[in-house]
Structures are given as C-alpha cells and as structure tokens.
C-alpha cells in the first residue's frame, strides 16, 4: 500500500468515522458537537493518564504477541507494518487519526447506544482480531479486548480524551516498536 493511500485512509478515519456520531447524537438525541467533543474535559491529567495506560498496555500486548503461539501466524502484524515503510511522523499521524476518529465513532457514538461490553467486542471484531477461522488471531483479540474494555469504561470516568490518549499511545508505541524491530 502506498503512503498516499495510507494517509487517505487515515484522513477518512479522522474525518468520516466521527460523522455518524455527530449526526446521530445531534439529530436523534439532541446532543451538540461541543458536548460530544467534551472539550471541557480535555486537560493534561485525563489525556496524560490515557496515554500512560495506552503505552503500558501496548508493552503488555507486545509481550504476549511475542509468545511462541503466534509464531505460526500466516501474516504477522509486525511484518505488515514494516512493509509499509513508516517513519516516525507517519506513525504519529496514523495513530492520531485512529485515536480520534475511532474513539469518536465507538466511545462517543456506538457505546452510547450499545454500552461498553458489546461496543468493545464489535471494535475488536471489526479490526479482525476475533476471527473464527484463525484461532491465533482470536487469541490476540482476547489480549486486546481488556484494553478496549478499559478505555470504554474509562470513557465514563475520565471522558473522551482519556480514551483518545490511550488509543493514540497504544497504536504509536506498537508502531514505533514494530518499525524498529528486525
């Protein structure tokens, strides 16, 4: 995949993914965009706490991903990431797009209607990590699911920016480790 296509997909995630949340919550629930964005809850504490949680869980997930059980996966995520030839800024951009776009869609939108458990399962499944045809990938999905549940429940306690910070940092740490690993 070319970098242009990666950036296009990142921009779509950042701009298009949140639209159903904004339209749905505004027109169905009467919740305005500023309430959805929770800018009043954006502060160094919630964002920083989310980033710490994301970084720590990325290290935990990576430790599990290095287990021998994952050696026989036909396509390893690390290989796909290395083949993208990402640099630091590519990783930051893609992590930011996923953190903001996906959290607005799932935490602020889908979770509003389906709750944290069902939303978390859908989130992990949509990413391909709950695959009935690949038990190893499903095992990885079960490793990621507690993190997604954590940021789903953290959304209620700390707000959207906690979830965005955690998602952003989780992706960034994994990207950075994967592009450096040989």
Q: How far apart (Å, rounded) are the C-alpha atoms in residues 51 and 165?
A: 5
Q: How many residues does the chain have?
A: 182
Residue 122 has a pLDDT of: 97
Q: Looking at 61-70, 120-129, 153-162, which range is the least confident one?
A: 61-70
Mean pLDDT of the chain: 92
The whole-model pTM stands at 0.93
Cα distances (angstroms) measured from residue 97 to each of 11, 15, 50: 7, 8, 16
End-to-end CA distance of the chain: 20
Q: How far apart (Å, rounded) are the C-alpha atoms in residues 69 and 88?
A: 29
Residue 181 has a pLDDT of: 64
Residue 176: CB atoms within 10 Å:
17
Whether pLDDT at 119 is above 90: yes
- pLDDT tens digits along 35-72: 999 999 999 999 999 999 999 999 999 988 888 887 77
Q: Which pLDDT band holds residue 180 (cuts at 50, 70, 90)? A: confident
* DSSP-assigned states of every residue in 39-100: GGG-SHHHHHHHHHHHHHHHHHHHHHHTSGGGTT-SS-HHHHHHHTT--HHHHHHHHHHHHH
Residue 116 has a pLDDT of: 98
Residue 66 has a pLDDT of: 83
Q: How far apart (Å, rounded) are the C-alpha atoms in residues 52 and 153?
A: 16
**Residue 109 backbone dihedrals phi, psi, to 5 degrees:** -100, -75
pLDDT, average across residues 142-155: 97
Q: How far apart (Å, rounded) are the C-alpha atoms in residues 88 and 70?
A: 26
- Choose between 72 and 17: higher pLDDT: 17
pLDDT, average across residues 84-105: 95
């Amino acid at each position: 995949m070319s970098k242009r296509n990666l950036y296009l997909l990142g921009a779509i995630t950042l701009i298009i993914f949140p639209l159903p949340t904004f339209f749905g919550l505004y027109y169905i629930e009467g919740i305005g965009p500023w309430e959805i964005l929770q800018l009043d809850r954006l502060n160094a504490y919630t964002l920083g706490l989310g980033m710490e949680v994301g970084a720590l869980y990325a290290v935990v997930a990576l430790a599990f991903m290095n287990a021998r059980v994952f050696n026989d996966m036909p396509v390893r995520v690390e290989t796909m990431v290395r083949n993208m030839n990402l640099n630091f800024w590519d990783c930051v951009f893609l992590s930011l797009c996923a953190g903001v776009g996906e959290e607005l869609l799932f935490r602020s939108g889908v979770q509003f209607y389906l709750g944290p458990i069902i939303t978390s399962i859908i989130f992990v499944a949509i990413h391909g990590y709950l695959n009935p045809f690949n038990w190893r990938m499903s095992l990885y999905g079960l490793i990621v699911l507690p993190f997604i549940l954590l940021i789903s429940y953290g959304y209620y306690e700390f707000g959207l920016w906690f979830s965005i910070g955690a998602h952003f940092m989780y992706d960034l740490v994994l990207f950075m480790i994967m592009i450096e690993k040989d």
